[in-house]
Structure 1
């Protein structure tokens, strides 16, 4: 009797694992569907109406507190991009530190070679606190040296942004 129960649980486990693999394929398909067909546009479509300059966004950040959010569209130069996948980027907004931009629901990525290009970004601006571990992870993704990574020892307040869409400006 015990043998039959063990075999039944193993069978159920194998079926569950197989279904999990198909779910991963579905996630990849959804990620591809979120990317626009228009060249240089990633994520959801948006209009460039009421687009702020990077420095205007920097002024808005100076008035935000941890936990505040604001919906905004802005244009600015890319300072750094994740070299592993293009899953984040940093844009200069005229503040002491650039704004860290991640992509909504990890649903799209940007090209890894857009450093120094202008982008128009639409989404939510906010202030957050970034842990030492997360800062070190971003430094590693950004190609920083081991010495630079080891020098990160304190959490810091970060200018954050969750982008629902990104356009590479021409």
Structure 2
């Protein structure tokens, strides 16, 4: 009787694990949705107020380290990771671009989207970026070694964690 109960529990556990894997595969496949005018990466967002780059720039000027604001805005892409599309920088009219990363690295964007318009949805914040991370990002962006070596101090930057990104075609 004990053996039967143990075998039944073990079989149930194995079947439960297989079911979870198939659900995760479906989630990964649904991370990319294409319409006629834009392509969605990550989670869909609809019926939200989309801000202009200038409005987002104003929000960032009022943020302090540790503050987080949920926001959706449209802006042009200035740079994108040339290795795998795991980050991008967008122009919001301030002196520096906003560094956009993707929630839990759940999706990436194409590496050829510089100068395209994107709409991003997620959380805006101010972050301090260390020297090593700045150098890593410079290398990913294809900067030369002299530019990478010139990075010697931590920098405060505008950060953004995107749940979803829509790229205008």
Normalising by the smaller structure, the TM-score range is: 0.7 to 0.9
Change (3 A) 1:83 1:63: same
1:35 counterpart = 2:35: no
Q: Distance in 2 between matches of 1:102 and 1:91?
A: 11
Partner SS, residue 85 of structure 1: coil
Paired with 2:65 and 2:123, the residues of 1 have a C-alpha distance of 13
Partner of 2:161: 162
Deviations 1:80-138 (A, max 9, x none): 00000000000001111100000000000000000000000000000000000000000
Flag as ranges the 4+ runs of structure 1 deviating above 3 A: 28-31
- Partner residue, 1:110: 109
Instruction: Answer whether contact 1:46 1:122 (CA < 8 A) is retained.
Output: yes
Structure 1 position 34, deviation (Å): 5.0
Partner of 2:143: 144
- Match for residue 21 of structure 1? none
Structure 1 unmatched runs, 5+:
1-24
Shift of 1:48: 5.2
Q: 1:31 to 1:103 in 2, by over 3 A?
A: farther
- Tell me how far 1:32 sits from its aligned partner: 2.5
Pair 1:103–1:88, CA change in 2 (3 A): same
SS where residue 52 of structure 1 aligns? coil
Structure 1 59/164 Cα, relative in aligned 2: closer, same or farther at 3 Å? Answer: same
What 5-or-longer segments of structure 2 have no aligned partner? 1-20
Residue aligning to 1:133: 132
